[in-house]
Structure 1
Amino acid sequence: MKFGLSAVSLFSGAGGMDVGFEQAGFNVLFANDIDEAACQSYNLNHSIKSHCGDLRSFTDEISKFKGVDVVFGGPPCQGFSVAGKMDPDDERSQLLWSYLDTVELLQPKAFICENVKALAVNSRWSNVRERFFDKAASLGYKTAMLVLNAADYGVPQARERMFIVGLKSDDSSISNNSLLNDLSIELANQQNSPESIADLIRRLGPAGSEGNSKVCSAVITYAKKPVLRKSPYAGMLFNGAGRPINSFGIALTLPASMGGNKTPIVDEDEIFNGKDSYVAGYHKSLMQGTPPKQGYAPDCLRRITVDEALAIQTFPSNYKLAGSQSAMFRQIGNAVPCELARVVAVSLSSVMNKHSGSLAAA
């Protein structure tokens, strides 16, 4: 039997956020997602089975967990993302309210709602934020909104995400501001530097090796009209949206659209053979006015593998994924980095323990 805080997971995907919460000592009792491949992946790695389908069709099953300690999850973000159409009428945007409906149903002691940074900072969504906070307050929750960069917490990826944390308390001395302060202190104590992409890939081995076998075969060709930026790792030197990664730095946000030419690029010669960066050299020549090359890029450049993408998202090394390769990349890109989820879960657990005498029961 597991002990510790209990939790219900919503919009669970392949289970990245669940991994972090479980590592933090939470006992996840229920999980759900609408993506069949993601549910299959979840089931391969967790002790419970993910309920596959529309969250709104599982009200009876979920209601059994009324009074659970924590509800967590990230409603689909495409409706709010700057990478999407930012359409407030997008059906997926409405799932934010389905999330709150579940909080209202279960009355947990606390909740964590994860989403894209744009929902927290873009003026277009100010009315959505206000509505969310008003609804949470009407249910008895103090709330705090944080924007966290996964790279600050040991994740080798510059991935900024929003977290709204709610705490159900009947203690009038606990305010939204004091909750934010408590969480910020806990999070500051857990900051950690990530490993470089080169170290991560050397740990896994060359693409195609036993520990790094799920190779992405999407070709890399030179852009006929390169878009140049100051950094070799910005702009567009090659066709497609998959930009090169600085081997001795960290990755940019991994998108759910990986698997084709939107998959990031690495330089194996630089990583394994100590050669100078081909990308940096090519970028320098372009900046000096040399005409762009045409055709295929050299073999030392390749797309990152599924295994590398999993590691960048800090999934356990033995994590299994179901579905086609594109489905695997989609699941990885949609996930909350496991280590970031663990840090947030530990921080919430500490704050809940601090206020354990005043947390309102369902």
Structure 2
Amino acid sequence: MIARSLVTRAADSLAERYGGALPPGDARALAAAADAAVIAVDGPLAGDVRAALRGAGAVVCDAGREMLVGASVAQLDAARAAVPHAGATIDVLRAALRRSAQKPSPLRLRARTLDVADEARVMGIVNVTPDSFYERVSGVDAAVAKTRAMSAAGASLVDVGGQSYAHWNPRIAAAEERDRVVPAVQAIVDAGIDVAISIDTFKASVADAALAAGAHLINDCSGLSDPDLAGVVATHGAGLVVMHLKGELNKRDPQAYVYEDALAEIVAFLHERTERAIAAGVARDAIAIDPGLEFGKEPQTDLEILERFGELRALGFPILFASSRKSFIGRVFDRPAKELLVPSLATAAIGISAGARILRVHDVEETVQLARMMAATAPERRRALAIAPAMPGTPEAAGNLERSPAV
């Protein structure tokens, strides 16, 4: 007898694999049983809830500040049936588990919609600054040319930035940042390039001007430090990326970058800030989140975030991943930014595997190929692929060899 653990666990995938041999009801039951995880709960659980969970076969453990519950969807459903009055509590656990497993919803960016369910989308970086650490452009024409090239290479978005956040660079005034960003946005819009435009700013006044010029998304690396920013985004009906930040932009204080549980703190921060954005009028389906690699973190924490990245999925928002040529990678390899393409792609692959769906990068063409290759393994994607009859550059492609008949 040979036994193996299936990689495929979703009901639709199981039904497709086994066809008519597996009834739909059985496929759903198997998926519910296989959809198991350890769920961290911030706070105590009532005694009867613990008893119901354990009675359904779940494991419940006290871990100090948190309760840990090891359960499947089927076990949570059984516990809910056993203790109906505790349904709201168990529904919180079930929702976290469900969000961690489901595909992210489309991201609404004003009149545009970014579909991130089956493939990670690439956001190219367009730095219109004189002091960014890598690949900056000078002037409106250069910004348009770079945007056009990135769009042609497969970028779905570009992120236009007018302020470097490196701690060795000074903070600039909002007026100067507007003067850098707004003309670039207007020129990209006027050029008719089919790409969503993101603005890398934390200042409400800069966001307002850029959105008025035609931008679609605000990428706030400060986690809503400006209390007016979310309201501005809401007024324009735009998208918003909320990033986790410990400390302040343009300042570095390694002694303060201490975490008792990094992912617990990041998730709690992002939950509170996204709720704040929604209360200010930003649509839930217009919000993405970013754990803020390197912002208020040292390399050990950045690597821990990569290891545990999937925990962010329980928040239920599309996740932006930004590690391209960052210094934590350079410090791991002791190499400058220009030599970090391969490890940057490796981190992007880790992010995609864990659920990242927007990749903010310098190297668009390579990252698009990475994202498309990873998406191609999904059953529905495999069926829709247009496969070339031969690999370009081979004698067969040149017509010098007889092709084997199709099997």
TM-score (norm 1): 0.30
Which one has a larger percent helix, Structure 1 or Structure 2? 2
Does 1 or 2 have the higher relative contact order (CA < 8 Å, sep 6+)?
1
Larger Rg, first or second structure (1 or 2): 2
TM-score (norm 2): 0.28
